[in-house]
């Protein structure tokens, strides 16, 4: 899956030690299907050579406004018009101040000033967005002048990619590091995704739960959390404010997503209850344990050599999806609930029954043994109108398609959305 296939970027480098990261970013953009034209300032050439960037991009690097390769001597016009976006990484404090004031005394600042903006495009020309990845010392980053400059650049239409925190080349530690290339790549990909959930607040559960038997053992399942994490990333890409309630998994948190780590089903329910009051969409993707030991042993249960098998009583865990679906916000249509069903057989029948039993307008089914731990999946969308198959594909691709489907459902009139939710709840009540 090449998320940037067919895109063309101008990658601008300004002076800063983080210029070495631009080499990896250039390579990452190309691996995602993009083409890259590198433009460097005089300061950038002090940290990394044009030869390096030429080798990685496969294109000659531009460093001067007076480059003789351009017949009209206007590389600031020609190069910017070809681009789908200009990405400045690293962007120094000085260069951002220059952009703020409209100064244009080198090729890169000229290009940024001359790029077609959304409010200025003419005759079918396309907008060329400006994405800025700052990089500087922590004191420079926190200085009021830098913060004012960034705020004004954003108000002028630039997209700020943020910074990282940690050890800096100067020996100090703090905010201001340029984001890592993988983080920048994820943010750039997200920038180009449709913003179908802009302004929406989405709550997602993901991964397994763990129910303790004793201090070292417990009941869990094979869920990796990959599908739920992919949905969280896709929802953020679509413009939503995302909270991810995650069971015990070792996955990295998607960029821009707020993560709440939990362990047991009761922990997950408590976390969901704390966030459903402000959510617009609830997606219950986690594989929650149906039962837990009635009482966990205080110490490790050990074998005594007798061959005797310990006995254990179980009690049913709370039903998180059903509990949320019964809330007033869900019943009134203010909270759109989506459930997941991981089955081992008879997927269609079990998914249909579970949707009615849980009282939700949409249920997503998959075969657990065929998807747990995998990077791809096949989904079944079940609603009041029938069943829709989503063929096997990478989980992020399916997550994006699911998010777009949910967005289309949310665009229905409030009366329609409320009616669908009420019908599902009524059916569930009738079966209880």
Asked if 104 and 110 touch (Cβ cutoff 8 Å), the reply is: yes
For residues 184 and 187, what is the distance between their CA atoms, to the nearest angstrom? 5
- CA-angle at 210, arms to 335 and 249, nearest 5°: 75
| 87 phi, psi to nearest 5 deg | -115, 120
Asked if 27 and 57 touch (Cβ cutoff 8 Å), the reply is: no
- Report the relative pairing of strands 201-206 and 258-261 from DSSP bridges: unpaired
For residues 172 and 180, what is the distance between their CA atoms, to the nearest angstrom? 18
Residues 145-168 as b or e (16 or more Cβ within 10 Å = b): ebeebbeebeeeebbbbbbeeeeb
* Cα Dmax for the chain: 91
Point out the residues that are catalytic.
170
For residues 375 and 360, what is the distance between their CA atoms, to the nearest angstrom? 27
Asked if 206 and 234 touch (Cβ cutoff 8 Å), the reply is: no
For residues 4 and 185, what is the distance between their CA atoms, to the nearest angstrom? 10
Nearest to 208 by CA among 257, 159, 168, 264: 264
Concatenated DSSP letters of 304-358: -SS-PPPP--EEEPP-HHHHHHTSHHHHTTSSEEEEEEEESS-HHHHHHHHHHHH
């Amino acid at each position: 899956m090449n998320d940037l296939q067919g895109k063309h970027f101008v990658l601008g480098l300004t002076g800063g030690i983080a210029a070495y990261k631009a080499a990896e970013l250039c390579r990452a953009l190309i691996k995602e299907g993009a083409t890259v034209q590198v433009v460097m300032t005089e300061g950038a050439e002090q940290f990394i050579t044009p030869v390096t960037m030429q080798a990685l991009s496969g294109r000659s690097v531009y460093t001067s406004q007076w480059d003789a390769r351009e017949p009209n001597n206007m590389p600031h016009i020609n190069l910017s018009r070809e681009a789908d976006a200009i990405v400045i990484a690293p962007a120094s404090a000085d260069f951002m101040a220059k952009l703020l004031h409209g100064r244009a005394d080198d090729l890169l600042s000229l290009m940024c000033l001359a790029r077609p903006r959304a409010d200025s495009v003419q005759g079918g020309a396309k907008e060329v967005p400006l994405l800025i990845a700052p990089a500087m010392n922590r004191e420079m980053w926190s200085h009021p002048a830098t913060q004012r400059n960034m705020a004004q650049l954003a108000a002028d239409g630039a997209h700020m990619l943020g910074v990282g925190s940690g050890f800096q080349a100067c020996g100090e530690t703090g905010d201001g590091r340029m984001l890592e290339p993988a983080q920048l790549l994820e943010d750039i990909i997200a920038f180009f995704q449709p913003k179908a959930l802009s302004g929406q607040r989405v709550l997602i559960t993901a991964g397994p739960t763990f129910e303790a038997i004793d201090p070292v053992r417990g009941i869990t399942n094979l869920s990796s959390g990959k599908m739920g994490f992919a949905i969280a990333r896709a929802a953020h890409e679509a413009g939503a404010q995302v909270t991810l309630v995650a069971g015990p998994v070792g996955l990295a948190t998607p960029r821009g997503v707020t993560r709440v780590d939990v362990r047991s089903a009761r922990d997950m329910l408590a976390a969901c209850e704390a966030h459903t009051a402000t959510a617009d969409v609830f997606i219950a993707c986690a594989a929650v344990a149906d039962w837990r030991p009635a009482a966990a042993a205080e110490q490790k249960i050990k074998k005594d050599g007798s061959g005797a098998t310990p006995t254990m009583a179980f009690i049913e865990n709370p039903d998180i999806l059903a509990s949320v679906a019964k809330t007033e916000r869900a019943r009134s249509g203010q909270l759109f609930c989506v459930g997941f069903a991981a089955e081992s057989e008879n997927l269609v029948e079990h998914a249909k029954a579970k949707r009615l039993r849980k009282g939700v307008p949409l249920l997503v089914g998959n075969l657990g043994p065929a998807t747990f731990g995998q990077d791809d999946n096949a989904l079944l969308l079940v609603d009041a109108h029938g069943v829709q198959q989503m063929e096997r594909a990478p989980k992020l691709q399916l997550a994006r398609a699911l998010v777009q489907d949910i967005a289309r459902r949310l665009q229905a009139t409030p009366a329609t959305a409320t009616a669908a939710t009420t019908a599902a709840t009524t059916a569930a009540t009738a079966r209880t």
